[in-house]
Structure 1
């Protein structure tokens, strides 16, 4: 049997070294993964000539250390994963090709028990290591985004057991994360809301669907504040749930402010038929409402008449369209891009029926810079009819931007699927 030919065609990356680390033979598989020919490496010192390390000295080279151990112990030595970038031939563009390797060094003894050869069996594990690095980077990006978000972020495993809470939980509740991850989170929820939370979560968990509800959570000062809580399942390509991701957004101030605004609007409508004294009082209430609208941290505007003409636009709403004139124009004149998206029809319906319209996380494509380029914006909004003499006279629009929240959830879904 031609053993030399037999060894050369072994389907494994192997190289034979002398005790002084000169290359004596190599398989075709070894030559292929190292991008070398036999003429380039045979007879050369394995580490000093054939594969010198461009960063580490000969004494620091972990391959030399492993070879020395195998030579001295006369036993197989296993080399941990190392990075060794292979110089690419000029025909392939030159430079270096990033590679990660695992190897074993097996001593071959002669009849007297001395090491006659050393066989290195090499495995190219670049794809596996790069995948591990990518996964680690994805996890770090997720953690960074979760910690940077103004919401309370949490995750559970597929069974619903809490696995992660971002630092904002601790700063909001004053309770250590470790305690919250056990059963401490239940003490944060208002006792009256707990049965609703349990029922909604059970329903969502059984059906494998998103959950959304408003509930009260106790802060570190013992004050219960309203939150909008949303959870969604991350699924693999077969539809199996891998984990659950949730967010909790503080809507306490917004909820109270909207309630106050609606109450103020009702008062103004009720006072519209009173005498002059009552009219003055209503006028004061109107000015109060206007100040609230103009100073509110959310987006407000008032549309008057069946043509929906902008009568009042606060700063937050105007910032959606920094280069456009809104006040005094109708919605069709000021925002022609929303016509085909159906929002004018929604306004017409609210005006004609007197029924409010509420929407959450609605995608609206807006020409925000007035340059013909539409941008995706996600909004939660309410169209509330305004009455004068028991007739609808206009519409109060309240909205807030949830684009970052929606994009973050989409990113989490992408990460889970990856």
Structure 2
């Protein structure tokens, strides 16, 4: 058996060093990701000569520490994602990339350490994508929590799915209680029946609602709010979710009462009311666009059965013929279940470990039920509560089918990415 041939053509990037950190060999994949020729690194010190890191002292080099840990423990040691600069072959500087690696000590029959094998992977693109998704999620949450309005969202059936931080800050009611219906205790008893009736009519008719209500703050004082609910619809007209906003109109309402009482300045009253309503509507629409029209697709699954709680426009575009909200992934997308992704979701929910995929083939059913090839880059991120228990899963990513097919076409034409 030609072990050298196997070593050279192993798809993982592998380099072999001796106990003194001298490079003995590397396979083709390793040379490709590190932009080196074999003669450039063989016989050289792995970290001081072949791959020196200009920004980190040798004594603190995480690769050196990982290798020494593997030697000390006598077993394979995994190195978490690190940023490590690689010198460009043309000598013009360094490229900082993200890497994952493992180090495995290899002993001879007498138990003497003879080699250390490093298996590494360039995960720069994945980490940049993850960071971009985290930034998007953080911006959306920050925007919603920073809004002065009390913002909430409900599924198509009217079940609460989200309350922004302002709700808890203003009422003093924890988010968990708000989600469980505790928001009703903050509504003035005289206003609650009318608000409930208006909300029920909106659900039945699928139409927006608007009502003025008094909401109690954490000190026990009531202020007037303009409460509005607007349905967001799928392309087929079915309601995807409801977005609610409560805007403080207490000062405006007092002003109105004063003007009505004095029977003066009626034109000014009209201008004030119109301005307040236009402002509330503008802020609501801005929030809706920011949250629901992200450039990447994302969805939130709740519970161990992975039930859709929230999906944005990009995610819904992947399944335009299916109403997702309120359904489990298995119910809404049987083709996804058939491809084994329910097992993947179950594992993320059970272990709390993130699952990531890059340019992976996923077959999605079109409106006629025919499976079509799509290439997706995505992440399944577990969601935790205050007790660090997994409560759901965030799905976020990009449809990279066009990019993948273009790259494949170029490869078929004999053009590599390095030539572009």
TM over 0.5: yes
Partner of 2:97: 99
Which is higher, the Rg of structure 1 or of structure 2?
A: 1
Aligned partner (choices 204, 211, 219) of residue 214 of structure 1: 211
Q: Is 1:288 aligned with 2:253?
A: no
Partner deviation per Cα, 1:96-140 (whole Å, 9 max, x = no partner)? 434211111111110101111111111222222222211221122
The 5-angstrom pairing of residues 252-263 of structure 1 reads 252-254=250-252
TM-score of the superposed pair, with normalisation by structure 1 = 0.58
Partner deviation per Cα, 1:258-278 (whole Å, 9 max, x = no partner)? 7888x79xxxxxxxxxxxxxx
Q: Contact 2:210–2:227 (CA<8 Å) still a contact in 1? A: yes
Partner of 2:247: 249
The 5-angstrom pairing of residues 387-402 of structure 1 reads 400=279, 402=281
Distance verdict in 2 for CA 1:48–1:245, change over 3 Å: farther
Question: What is the Cα deviation at residue 193 of structure 1?
Answer: 5.1
Query: Secondary structure of the residue that 1:118 maps to in structure 2?
Result: strand
Partner of 1:38: 38
Q: Partners of 1:79 and 1:138 in 2: how far apart?
A: 28
Partner of 1:325: none
Q: Contact 2:53–2:86 (CA<8 Å) still a contact in 1? A: no
Query: Secondary structure of the residue that 1:72 maps to in structure 2?
Result: helix
Q: Partners of 1:6 and 1:119 in 2: how far apart?
A: 15
Distance verdict in 2 for CA 1:291–1:210, change over 3 Å: closer
Partner of 1:57: 57
Aligned partner (choices 184, 187, 192) of residue 186 of structure 1: 184
> C-alpha root-mean-square deviation of aligned residues, in Å?
3.8
Structure 1, 144-153 or 75-84: larger mean CA deviation: 144-153
Question: What is the Cα deviation at residue 76 of structure 1?
Answer: 0.9
Distance verdict in 2 for CA 1:401–1:51, change over 3 Å: same
Distance verdict in 2 for CA 1:86–1:170, change over 3 Å: same
Partner of 1:145: 143
Partner of 1:407: 286
Distance verdict in 2 for CA 1:11–1:51, change over 3 Å: same
Q: Partners of 2:203 and 2:108 in 1: how far apart?
A: 66
* Matched residues, number: 292
Distance verdict in 2 for CA 1:74–1:156, change over 3 Å: farther
Query: Secondary structure of the residue that 1:84 maps to in structure 2?
Result: strand
Distance verdict in 2 for CA 1:192–1:219, change over 3 Å: closer
Question: What is the Cα deviation at residue 401 of structure 1?
Answer: 7.0
Q: Partners of 1:232 and 1:37 in 2: how far apart?
A: 60
Q: Is 1:9 aligned with 2:6?
A: no
Partner of 2:107: 109
Query: Secondary structure of the residue that 2:109 maps to in structure 1?
Result: coil
Partner deviation per Cα, 1:4-57 (whole Å, 9 max, x = no partner)? 333112121111111111111111111111112112211111111111222221
Partner of 2:308: none
Query: Secondary structure of the residue that 1:59 maps to in structure 2?
Result: helix
Question: What is the Cα deviation at residue 172 of structure 1?
Answer: 3.0
Q: Partners of 2:204 and 2:274 in 1: how far apart?
A: 37
Q: Partners of 2:172 and 2:153 in 1: how far apart?
A: 19
Question: What is the Cα deviation at residue 142 of structure 1?
Answer: 1.7
Q: Partners of 1:234 and 1:84 in 2: how far apart?
A: 47
Partner of 1:71: 71
Query: Secondary structure of the residue that 2:293 maps to in structure 1?
Result: helix
